[in-house]
Amino acid sequence: MPAILELHNVNKSFGAVDVLKNVDFRANAGEVTALVGDNGAGKSTLVKCIAGTYVLDSGEYLFDGRSVKVHSPRDSSELGIEIVYQDLALCDNLDVVQNMFLGRERTRGVVLNESSMEQAASETLRSLSVRTLKSVRQRVSSLSGGQRQTVAIAKAVLWNSKVVILDEPTAALGVAQTAQVLDLVRRLADRGVAVVLISHNMLDVLKVADEIAVMYLGQSAARVRKTDVNQTQLVELITTGQLGGAKVDGVKNEVSA
C-alpha cells in the first residue's frame, strides 16, 4: 500500500537527553499501523513531532510523497492529519454535533447553520456504520466510554483526514465497547485512511493491525507485518528491542502462538 506519512532518520532531544534517535516510521493508506513500545520508548514524542507540537531537530518528514515542514498543530491539520488523544478532548456540556464541529462551526450569515452540521455529523456516523448513538443531539456527558471514543474518531473523519492517529483508544473500556471501537478502527482503514494505533494491549494490536512498528529506547527496533509475529515475539521486541538477540526489520513466525 502507498505510504501517506513517512519519517526518516528523525531526531529529537531535550537538552542533553536524546529522546528520538534516527527513527523511521511510515503509515500506509488503507492500513492500520500499530505503534508499540514500553513506557519511555519515545512513542508520545514521535506522535507530538508528527502533530507539530514538537519540531524535529533533524530528519525528513514526507506527506503524500513530498517533503514538508511541520512547525505547529495547524500545519499537520492542514495536511490532513488528525490525532485522537487518550483524553478525547470532548466537552461534556455539548452534544455530539457541537463537539464534532467545535472550532469549525458552519454558519449561515451571522447564525450557526445547525441543520447543515447535524446532517453532516449524521452522515459521517452512518458512513462508519455507527449505530450505538440514539441521537446526534445527545450530550456527551450521557455517553458511555465506547460511545465517546466513537464520537472522537468520527470527528476526525468528518474533516476528510488522510491520517488518523489514535492514542490508546480502548483504554478503560469494557470487552463489548472495545470490540466496537476496534471494528470502527478497521472500517476507518477500509475507507482508505492511514490509521496509526498506539496501544499497550497486544491482543488489540494483533487483532486489528496490518503492520506493527516497534520502538525501543527512542529508536526504531522493528517493523513487521502482523502475520509474521505472534504475541510472544512481539513482547520480546517491545521489552528487549531484539528478537533472538538480533535487531530486525521483519521477522517470521518461528514461535508457535
Are the C-beta atoms of 95 and 121 separated by less than 8 Å?
Answer: no
One-letter amino acid at 158 equals L
Per-residue confidence (pLDDT) for residue 245, from 0 to 100: 58
Strand bridging mode 81-84 / 163-167: parallel
Strands (DSSP E) contained in the chain are 3-14, 17-28, 32-36, 58-63, 66-67, 81-84, 107-108, 111-112, 163-167, 194-198, 211-216, 219-225
CB-based burial, 155-185: b 16+ in 10 Å, e otherwise: bbbbeebbbbbbbbbbeebeeebbebbbebb
List the CATH code of the domain at 3-90+160-240: 3.40.50.300
Per-residue confidence (pLDDT) for residue 173, from 0 to 100: 79
Per-residue confidence (pLDDT) for residue 253, from 0 to 100: 38
Give the global pTM: 0.86
Between CA 237 and CA 253 the distance in angstroms is 13
Nearest-CA neighbor of 200 among 167, 228, 225, 227? 167
Nearest-CA neighbor of 49 among 37, 60, 65, 64? 60
Q: How does the average pLDDT of the chain come out, rounded?
A: 89
Residue 169: CA atoms inside 13 Å, Cβ hemisphere, count?
Answer: 33
Between CA 35 and CA 209 the distance in angstroms is 10
- Bridge partners (DSSP) listed for residue 83: 165
Are the C-beta atoms of 60 and 9 separated by less than 8 Å?
Answer: yes
Per-residue confidence (pLDDT) for residue 145, from 0 to 100: 84
Residue ranges in the chain modelled with pLDDT below 50: 251-257
Per-residue confidence (pLDDT) for residue 162, from 0 to 100: 93
Q: At what angle do helices 175-190 and 145-158 cross, to 10 degrees?
A: 10
Question: Is residue 123 classed as helix, strand or coil in its secondary structure?
Answer: helix
Compute the chain's Rg from CA coordinates: 19
Q: Which residue has the cell 514538537?
A: 54
Per-residue confidence (pLDDT) for residue 255, from 0 to 100: 38
